[in-house]
């Protein structure tokens, strides 16, 4: 790389610490495109279409900024949102209106993305923005990102987060007679069409689980050289274990008594809270001290969410366990870590779950976890060492698995230690950001690995390039199909 002093460190895995790199001045700029949900500096997590993906985009962007990049998160402007919002130095949310002022579900937002993309490109031109690469998220973001990348001539990195073919397959196995209703709700026909097109056109696809990687290769015909598997991360500055005295104080703070089973997240049918209630009904006769704490939803509920919650309350009553179940509602982000720490077991009970970041956060806090086998996380865990997993569609299997750490302190202690260690080793945001940069660097090498799978640790200018162009620096825009395009960053 002429004109640059390059300091390289080896990177052995996602969780391996790596010295930070400093891009050129002005800082290289990266675009994130995540068009659905409430994206902002303090998003209402648990609100409709506002969950793990929003956390992923924000945390990855903040970590990239800590590595010296400027990051713009492009999203849809609706309701009373501002057009620009700073998250922290180096990270801002840029909102572009389309489809009116009302919320639009992610399954149907694609219909308004022509207008969104045109307005985004106008703003990019007006502000003179130039990007090293663009990372789009989910299929609606992929549609918009594809069009922006085509217009700007930059590389398109797409992170699907979940896949329509995989999700449709999971649902139809469980509910084969509901095809028309499921199509109306999830719009699989349009989603699968656009996902196939995005998979074919994107320069790089990032799978967050082994299941996604397999599905992209087998169902979307993605060639391996266009594919990277990088699990999501968690904030290790917030989620970490505490001692027994601190945990006792937290249990008093939340009013926890007995042996508390915790589940939390946004309210949706696929999250399987009803499945957990059925399993809990089988736990109660075996463990009289068991309590179930469900912290569900955002600060306000949509009608569809309210219907799911009402159904859970009615089911608890039918099963005769209402007196042992607490529906606590929205949990502020500032209390999430303490809630994990106070619980005896955390359960991810989803019917299907692309990954399951809440379970990783609970692991990081030292809380034993039981996760669904209908998702990606269980393939990463070592059963009995850092987590347990069960078929959530089988209430007896789920109940028996939850009982293990509740009734055997040695199992709980082993899961607590092993889970926290695995989270620190494999799922920090610093490791995720380095892996994303390493994967995008392959684009500049024509789709091949950088030498020795290096991690770009520092790029300090020694002298200006002898002639025009970018001198081969890493901060320069990556062109569609590999290589670099000229221009400032």
> How far lies 387's CA from each of 13, 49, 91, 348, 370, in Å?
21, 28, 34, 11, 6
pLDDT for the residue numbered 361: 95
pLDDT for the residue numbered 9: 29
Indicate if 226 and 315 belong to the same structural domain.
no
Q: Does 363 fall in a domain?
A: yes
What does pTM read for this prediction?
0.72
Question: In sequence order, what E strands does 391-476 have?
Answer: 454-461
pLDDT for the residue numbered 83: 97
388-390 β-sheet, strand order: 325-327, 290-296, 259-265, 345-348, 369-372, 388-390
Indicate if 135 and 255 belong to the same structural domain.
no
Q: What is the CATH number of the domain that holds 279?
A: 3.40.50.2000
Total domains present in the chain = 2
Indicate if 186 and 154 belong to the same structural domain.
yes
Q: Which residues, 6 or more positions from 227, have their beta carbon under 8 angstroms from its beta carbon? A: 204, 205, 207, 213, 216, 217
pLDDT for the residue numbered 480: 65
Q: In this structure, are residues 340 and 362 in contact, taking their beta carbons and an 8 Å threshold?
A: yes
Q: In this structure, are residues 78 and 100 in contact, taking their beta carbons and an 8 Å threshold?
A: yes
Q: Which of 426, 450, 479 is the last residue of a domain?
A: 426
Indicate if 295 and 305 belong to the same structural domain.
yes
Indicate if 205 and 254 belong to the same structural domain.
no
> How far lies 238's CA from each of 333, 334, 356, 485, in Å?
10, 9, 17, 39
- Dist. CA 330–CA 328, nearest whole Å: 7
Q: Does 21 fall in a domain?
A: yes
Q: Does 487 fall in a domain?
A: no
CA dihedral 350, 351, 355, 359 (to 10 degrees): 20
Domain span holding position 284 = 244-426
pLDDT for the residue numbered 471: 32
Q: Does 467 fall in a domain?
A: no
> How far lies 144's CA from each of 96, 113, 194, 347, 437, in Å?
12, 6, 11, 35, 22
- Dist. CA 365–CA 242, nearest whole Å: 7
Indicate if 276 and 391 belong to the same structural domain.
yes
Q: Does 65 fall in a domain?
A: yes
Q: Does 475 fall in a domain?
A: no
Indicate if 455 and 407 belong to the same structural domain.
no
Indicate if 145 and 73 belong to the same structural domain.
yes
Q: Does 285 fall in a domain?
A: yes
- Dist. CA 402–CA 386, nearest whole Å: 14
pLDDT for the residue numbered 216: 96
Low-confidence ranges of the chain (pLDDT < 70): 1-26, 174-177, 444-476, 478-489
DSSP characters for 258-270? SEEEEEEE---GG
Indicate if 422 and 435 belong to the same structural domain.
no
Indicate if 215 and 347 belong to the same structural domain.
no
Indicate if 17 and 152 belong to the same structural domain.
yes
pLDDT for the residue numbered 442: 79
- Dist. CA 186–CA 190, nearest whole Å: 9
Q: In this structure, are residues 19 and 9 in contact, taking their beta carbons and an 8 Å threshold?
A: yes
Q: Does 156 fall in a domain?
A: yes
Indicate if 289 and 172 belong to the same structural domain.
no
Q: In this structure, are residues 420 and 366 in contact, taking their beta carbons and an 8 Å threshold?
A: yes
């Amino acid at each position: 790389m002429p004109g640059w002093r390059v300091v390289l460190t080896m990177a052995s895995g996602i969780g391996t610490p790596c010295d930070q790199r400093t891009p050129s001045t002005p800082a290289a700029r990266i675009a994130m495109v995540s068009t659905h949900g409430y994206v902002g500096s303090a998003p209402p997590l648990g609100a409709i279409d506002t969950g793990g993906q929003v956390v992923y985009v924000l945390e990855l962007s903040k970590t990239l900024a800590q590595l010296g990049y400027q990051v713009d998160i492009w999203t849809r402007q609706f309701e009373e949102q501002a057009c620009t919002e700073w998250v922290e130095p180096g990270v801002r949310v840029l909102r572009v209106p389309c489809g009116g002022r009302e919320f639009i579900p992610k399954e149907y937002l694609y219909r308004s993305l022509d207008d969104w993309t045109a307005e985004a490109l106008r703003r990019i031109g007006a502000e003179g923005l130039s990007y090293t690469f663009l990372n789009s998220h989910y299929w609606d973001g992929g549609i918009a990102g594809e069009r922006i990348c085509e217009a700007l001539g930059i590389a398109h990195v797409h992170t699907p987060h979940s896949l329509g073919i995989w999700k449709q397959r999971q649902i139809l196995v469980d509910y084969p007679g509901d095809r028309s209703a499921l199509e109306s709700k999830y719009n699989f026909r349009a989603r699968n069409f656009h996902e196939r097109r995005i998979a074919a056109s994107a320069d790089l696809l990032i799978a967050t689980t082994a299941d996604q990687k397999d599905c992209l290769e087998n169902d979307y015909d993605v060639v391996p050289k266009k594919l990277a598997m990088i699990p999501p991360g968690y904030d290790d500055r917030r989620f970490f274990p505490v001692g027994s005295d601190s945990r006792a104080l937290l249990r008093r703070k939340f009013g926890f008594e007995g042996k508390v089973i915790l589940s939390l997240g946004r309210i949706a049918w696929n999250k399987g809270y009803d499945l957990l209630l059925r399993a809990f009904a089988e736990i109660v006769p075996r463990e009289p001290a068991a309590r179930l704490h469900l912290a569900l939803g955002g600060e306000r509920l949509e009608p569809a969410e309210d219907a799911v919650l009402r159904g859970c309350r009615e089911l608890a009553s039918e099963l005769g366990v209402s007196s042992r179940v607490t529906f606590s509602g929205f949990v502020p982000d500032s209390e999430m870590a303490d809630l994990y720490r106070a619980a005896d077991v955390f359960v991810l009970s989803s019917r299907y779950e692309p990954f399951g970041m809440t379970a990783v956060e609970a692991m990081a806090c030292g809380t034993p976890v039981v996760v669904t086998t209908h998702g990606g996380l269980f393939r990463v865990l070592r059963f009995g060492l850092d987590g347990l997993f069960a078929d959530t569609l089988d209430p007896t299997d789920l109940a028996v698995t939850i009982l293990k750490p509740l009734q055997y302190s040695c199992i709980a202690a082993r899961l607590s230690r092993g889970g926290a260690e695995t989270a620190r080793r494999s799922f920090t945001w610093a490791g995720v950001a380095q892996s994303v940069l390493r994967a995008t660097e392959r684009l500049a090498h024509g789709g091949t690995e950088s030498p020795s799978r290096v991690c770009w640790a520092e790029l300090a200018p020694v002298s200006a390039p002898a002639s025009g162009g970018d001198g081969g620096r890493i901060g320069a825009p990556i062109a569609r199909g590999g290589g670099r395009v000229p221009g400032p960053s």
